Structure 1
Amino acid sequence: MNSPSWITILLVIVILSFIIAFCNFIWNSLRKIRGRQLHGSRKHSSRVTPELPPIVKAGSPASELASRLEAALPATYQDMLKQRVLSEHPDMTEQEYAWRWQELKRFFVLCAVLDRVPMFSRDVDEIWHEMLMYTYEYQQFSERYLGRMLHHAPNTGNEQTLLPTERAWFDTIYVELFGWHEYSAKLWGSFFRVPLPREELEAITSSHFNVNHGQKRFNAWTYEKLPAARTAMDAVIRNLQERVQSAQAEAPRQEKRVSFQNSDVLLAAAVYFAWNSPDQFREHMIPDEQELQKHHSSSSCTYSSACGSGGSDPGDSSSCSGDSSCSSGSSCSSCGSGCSS
């Protein structure tokens, strides 16, 4: 039997190529149609996601740092990122994207304040991954914002359990700069589950404490190079020192007001119990019952599940419902170095 001629082989290749191209066309068309349907429903589903607050709370010492961050992000870069994310994740609503993007920007602010900042949210980290796809734009953003590269480390999924002290610092500085919101807790996991170490609280109140010498918690590089970061750190440290001094002066007691709707009260309680009752810290740092009832229906992820009250595990994604998970754990970053991959 004669072997097929080259014309026959070429014809088969052309036919197969056409079939593959046609199948890809149909697949992409169906995906776009589904994406448009979901996009059309975003204005309806956004009602289950709360209104987005400002990136920093009123009077935050990080206001100047947040302005520097926003100035380092061109509108074209942000638009490209949003289009890419919503295209790659057609089930994500625009309001949910806005929350994740804002929480990522808050994370970047924290990277200018703290020396090590683990990425505790897989949801927020998804946006970071997509942001990194624009390599040149991301490098330019890092240089404009921090003066050097802001590195990303791969997702591990173990940060909550392996880095409890870093999580305690994350919670404290986050609330100091941005305040607390139940939807933020939905994305990051519950706040104030572990106390700040007493030895670190003692160190920060020492007359010898200096960001540029001997300490390993605050970002000494940005403290030296960026006045906006220095302003934020000085205020954070000063407020923390005052809260530690108050905790030292007060007689130990089992009850103290804890308000998740008042940042000053919340932080004062967190420092007080970290200093005076670290072994019972988790039990103390739950919302007041009246607050619980007042805000119970304000979010698709309930106030109680976001705070881990009632004995629920604050880091357990099963404690939440709605359009975003409470999953945690991904990567860690610090200005200029990041965690090793």
Structure 2
Amino acid sequence: MIYIIGALFIGLFIFLFTRESEKAKLERFKREYQISKGDMQNIDFFDVVSERLAYSLDNALQTFDTAQLNLEFRIQYPRMSQKQVNEYWRELKRYFILVAIFKKVEMFHSKVDELWHLMLKDEKNYERFCQEYIGSKIQHISHSQPTFKPTERTFLDFCYVQLFTVDKVSLRIWGKFFKEDKGKQFLDDFETLSISSLKEKYMRTQTSLEAEETFIKFHKRFIEINEANVKRWKDKYNETNDAGPAYFAYIDAGESDKEFNEVFGQDSHGNTSDSSTHSDNHDSGSSCSSCSSCSSS
């Protein structure tokens, strides 16, 4: 009898201790979010992106209790630091910039997508968010099986490198850019088609004036490069380390050119991502694990 009582007491102690630890962990998650909340505001975009578009995104996100969304995500991934979670927030916000501008940009990362899923659970606020942001709903289309979509992934890369910085966080989350294709067809279109044709083919039809303004500035960048040569863009990339100039030089570089391997294409061993990226990224351009075609229109 004494042993039974002792065992019950020990079990109760362990239960209370574990419960208290869980409570302390949740408080730590909340505290870390508040401390680093300012980091979530930084998207690191180039001047191609309208500042008003970025502002409208941050303003629209206030329809959600982002602290609660952040907490739910951290409960799901308790071993992840708040710094890592902030990186996923940044990439989700960058993705929302992309889908505000372009007709179809698919999602290619499961954890970034899971943050999106947390927003989708609150249908009423998600509707409000979309309306306040661009005036139309950003659709999330789910499919049961992952698929290989190199063209769609290349289009994401093509748009991404012109709008945002490409740093270690970008490469860790998305992997190297242009692994399947250099995107020359997209480049040819933006260099040769009229702005009206480009809008019809690539621009989101129901969106904000700020997003349309960004699309026009995006197009202008490609017109300007017709007057440039590869050396000029290589020099500019070396000066700024921006991915946009690097892309213009990379697409005209020979297959043996090693200068851009840290950002684009395959590494010297023929791999498309390192082990740390590979485990968190989707091989060969497949979409998110829970839905193989997360797209906007």
- Unpaired stretches in structure 1, ≥5 consecutive residues: 1-22, 45-50, 289-302, 336-341
> Match for 1:112: what amino acid?
A
1:115 equivalenced with 2:103 (yes/no):
yes
1:150 equivalenced with 2:142 (yes/no):
no
Picking from 270, 275, 284, the partner of 1:319 is: 275
Deviation of 1:262 (Å):
2.5
Secondary structure in structure 1 of the residue aligned to 2:132: helix
Match of 1:179 in 2: 165
Deviation of 1:321 (Å):
6.5
Deviation of 1:246 (Å):
4.2
Deviations 1:167-200 (A, max 9, x none): 22212221221111111111112113221133x4
- With normalisation by structure 1, the TM-score equals 0.65
Deviation of 1:31 (Å):
6.8
Do the aligned partners of residues 334 and 185 (structure 1) sit closer, same or farther apart at CA in structure 2, a change above 3 Å counting? same
> Match for 2:139: what amino acid?
H
Instruction: State the identity %.
Output: 24
Picking from 57, 68, 71, the partner of 1:69 is: 57
Deviations 1:134-188 (A, max 9, x none): 22111111111121211112366745xx322222221222122111111111111
Deviation of 1:204 (Å):
2.6
Match of 1:221 in 2: 206
Deviation of 1:231 (Å):
1.2
Match of 1:262 in 2: 242
> Match for 1:135: what amino acid?
E
1:192 equivalenced with 2:148 (yes/no):
no
Match of 1:238 in 2: 220
- With normalisation by structure 2, the TM-score equals 0.74
Deviation of 1:34 (Å):
5.0
1:334 equivalenced with 2:290 (yes/no):
no
Match of 2:124 in 1: 136
Secondary structure in structure 2 of the residue aligned to 1:310: coil
Match of 2:188 in 1: 202
Matches of 1:125 and 1:240, distance apart in 2: 30
Matches of 1:187 and 1:42, distance apart in 2: 24
Computing the radius of gyration from Cα coordinates, the structure with the larger value is 1
Matches of 1:285 and 1:62, distance apart in 2: 33
Contact kept in structure 1, 2:190 and 2:198, CA below 8 Å: no
More deviation in 97-106 or 35-44? 35-44
Deviation of 1:58 (Å):
4.9
Picking from 61, 78, 81, the partner of 2:69 is: 81
